Amino acid sequence: MNRSEFLQRYHHLRQIDYEADYPLRKTGRAAGVLIPLIDHPDGLTVLLTERAHHLRHHPGQISFPGGGAEPQDNTLADTALREAEEEVGLLRSEVDVIGALPEYRTISGYAMTPVIGFVKPGPVLTIDRNEVADAFEVPLAFLMDRRNHFAHFIERKQQRYPVYFMPWQNRLIWGATAAILRNLSSHLCDD
């Protein structure tokens, strides 16, 4: 899928059924994450990060660049772009923001807004090793193919929740990152 095909499918007018998020008792901490789509001539890829292994929360987990909103952020898109620059050196000027997915609440108390942006191939990344162990690309076609989505169900407070998984090479994309990618796939699927 290329940029033009992505935009055509993403901006359609049909109703989308999103994956259920985690119902929070109070308003979650606002966060913005960036879904950076690298626009290669042979198809789009998604830039993901592996969180640093020394972090207290979610060490080694695969995620999007992003984090909690700060007072200087005017919007959650600003948050996502600021965090992407801090974590992997992806400059705001290198990202063409085209939209966002609905807020996704997490069990850890965040209300994340996934911001979608196109990036030209070959961005020069400068990884902040205090936050990120690695950054890598995964073909969008792989992530959007529901045959690569797996679910495990957990029970919490007498409610059943799916936890999605997407194995990619020697990595496991799971949790909120996988659920957000699954929600994106709802925009792009053919049915």
pLDDT in tens, 94-128: 999 999 999 998 888 889 999 999 999 989 999 99
Q: Whole domain around residue 91: which residue ranges?
A: 3-139
What's the pLDDT at 60? 75
Give domain status of residue 148, yes or no: no
Give domain status of residue 158, yes or no: no
Give domain status of residue 91, yes or no: yes
- Strands 104-105 vs 110-119: parallel, antiparallel or unpaired: antiparallel
Nearest to 139 by CA among 68, 6, 46: 46
Alpha helix locations (H) across the chain?
Answer: 3-10, 76-88, 140-144, 176-188
Give domain status of residue 173, yes or no: no
Residue of 20 and 167 predicted with greater confidence: 167
Say which CATH number the domain at 39 has. 3.90.79.10
What's the pLDDT at 17? 75
Give domain status of residue 114, yes or no: yes
Q: Sign (positive/negative) of CA torsion 51, 57, 59, 62?
A: negative
Give domain status of residue 93, yes or no: yes
Looking at the structure of the chain, the number of domains it has is 1
Residues 46/36, Cβ–Cβ less than 8 Å: yes
Give domain status of residue 178, yes or no: no
Which residues contact residue 71 at a Cβ distance below 8 angstroms, ignoring those fewer than 6 apart?
none
Give domain status of residue 13, yes or no: yes
Can you give the pTM of this predicted structure?
A: 0.90
In the predicted structure, residue 191 carries a pLDDT above the cut 60: no
What's the pLDDT at 13? 60
